[in-house]
Amino acid sequence: MFNAHTVIGAAEWEVWQYAQRLSTVTITERLRVLSQFLAETDVQPLHAQAVDIVRWLAGHDDDWSDSTSATYASYLSAWYKWLQIVDRRADNPMIKVGIPKVPEREPRPIADEDVPRLLATRMWGSTRVMILLALLAGLRAHEIAKVRGEDFDLTGRVLWVKGKGRKLKSVPLHPILIEVASQMPATGWWFEMRGHPSEHMHSKSVSDIVGRTMRRAGVRGTCHSLRHWYATTLLDNGNDLRVVQELLRHRSITSTQGYTRVPDQRRRDAIAGLTLVRGRRAA
């Protein structure tokens, strides 16, 4: 039976996205946003006009961040591009709406002194492993959730990670992670879903577990802040930005720059080195 709050065409779009090998998280979020648009505007996304979309986005100016608005607009853009591909719609209203530019964010790694404080906090052994994978391999929450024993090559001392775009890349193993891996299962998921041992934990569960531990330790930030610390520390240790890009597994070095923060002391030293009177070079 037809439900007035059912998004027309959503099921077909879901199948198409899976065929494109998009992640379940991405697909689920895109469909959720479409459903939210329908519920709040009472306009079928299939038939929505530019003015409907603009009014919906503007109606959330007070409760959505610029980043959230940009993300949701990009979801709608993907939806209308698909409708054009399958000849369900001739026009694309997002051309008139445009997609808000995602604001540049200053990297927010945890402080160096917070690392030992976090690791000294009482926690489950599995939580400690999650934190170490973020700090010493720079793994994202969804990558941590999918870690398996088979991903570790202890002979070659590398960890194979399937990151964004399902690309498989290797990360050199830190000695501490080699020791951790030798004590963890050699096969199967390291972080199983409770009650479903054949499935891995959800990425949100990883974020929540690590986040709660950080708050209990009095450390500000999120699970992703640990990856920011990894990147910033690599750069601060004198590694080339290109090397950091490879270790973060970024396609673009611009993305890497968004993860790394120049330490405050370096910035202060740079300013202190400015002089209004510069010596002449010898002839």
Which residues are catalytically annotated? 140, 164, 224, 227, 250, 259
Check: CB of residue 84 under 8 Å from CB of residue 78: no
Tokens read off for 214 = 């950080």
Contact 133, 144 (CB under 8 A): yes
User: Rounded to an integer, what distance in angstroms lies between the CA atom of residue 33 and that of residue 38?
Assistant: 9
SS (H, E, C) 235-275: HHCCCCHHHHHHHHCCCCHHHHHCCCCCCHHHHHHHHHCCC
φ, ψ (nearest 5 deg) of residue 111: -70, 150
**Distance separating alpha carbons of residues 147 and 154, to the nearest angstrom:** 15
Alpha carbon separation from 27 to 93, 105, 152 (Å, rounded): 21, 25, 29
